[in-house]
Each structure stands twice: as structure tokens, then as C-alpha cells.
Amino acid sequence: MEYIQTMQSPLGKLTASSDGDNITGLWFENQKYYAATLEKENEVHDLFVFQLVEKWLDLYFAGSKPDFSIPIAPKGSPFRQAVWKILRTIPYGEIVTYGDIAKQLKETQGMNTSARAVGGAVGHNPISILIPCHRVIGAKGKLTGYAGGIDKKVQLLKLEHVSPEKLYMS
């Protein structure tokens, strides 16, 4: 059984899911792959972990870097898990490319993979914002896909004070 709760953000409604202890999903309403990892059996329930997420998001959207972490347990293949683990190491306000992640996978885990394969894993990230896939851009600063929408990606990067000179729209 999974539990869900909806919450409002400055960028729209979010739905969070939990196994009771960990966050297993956090999706913008109508985003690509919305609730793709959510179990069919779920119920709305107020959990402490949802309260933590709301507090974290309140701080984040107020322009602060939250100083605590949320227990997460994303569901996905070992490859996707490896990519999402790297995403969690990208510092607040910093950006990396899909190619950078592919290179890191090769160097640290011996995985020979392409930037495109990394992009697929990033795009299927089930825990938006907390696993900061919005901090991943294309080669040479190109803003590419974001399951929640490029407009939201731009807003999240602006919120984190990423310099517009580092980015370009395609």
C-alpha cells in the first residue's frame, strides 16, 4: 500500500507518494510520466514524511536551501537508481550535463553509457525537485526536456540563482 497527498507550490499542484516512511514519488500535475511508479492501491493519508516534504518545499520555494534531507525510496531499474543517486549529489544552484553524468557513471561504476541513455533515466525521475533532475542540461548549456515542463525547469533554476548566461533555450 502506498499513501498519497497533494500539495500546492508556486509552480502548481504536486502529488507526493510514500511507502509510509519514505517518499516514493513527487510529481507536478500533468507532468510526463505522472505517477508512473505509484501503486494502483493507494490512499490519501497524512504522514509525517509528507509534513517534512511540505516544510522542505516551503523553504525551497522561499529561496532558501533546505538544511535537512527527506527519506526517499525511488522505484526504478539499477541503471536509473545509479543516475538518480548522482543527481542527488549535484549541489544547489549548480548544473551538469547529461554527458557529465554518463562520464561519471563510466569512471565510478564502469558503466559505458550514452548521454541519451542518461537523459532517459533523468526523464523518468519519480521524485521531482528532491532528486534535482532540473539541474541537468544539455551540452553547451542547452535547456532540454524536463518532465514537468521547460517553464518549470527554468523557474527552478532561477530560484536557485543559476546564472542565465550558463543557459540557452533551444
Active site positions, annotated: 133
Between the CA of residue 115 and those of 86, 94, 99, 152, what are the distances in Å?
A: 14, 18, 5, 22
Between CA 170 and CA 90 the distance in angstroms is: 23
Question: H-type helices in 38-114, by residue range?
Answer: 48-61, 78-87, 98-109
- If you ran DSSP here, which 8-state letter would residue 19 be given? S
Distant-in-sequence, close-in-space partners of 12: CB < 8 Å, separation ≥ 6: 28, 29, 152
Between CA 128 and CA 110 the distance in angstroms is: 27
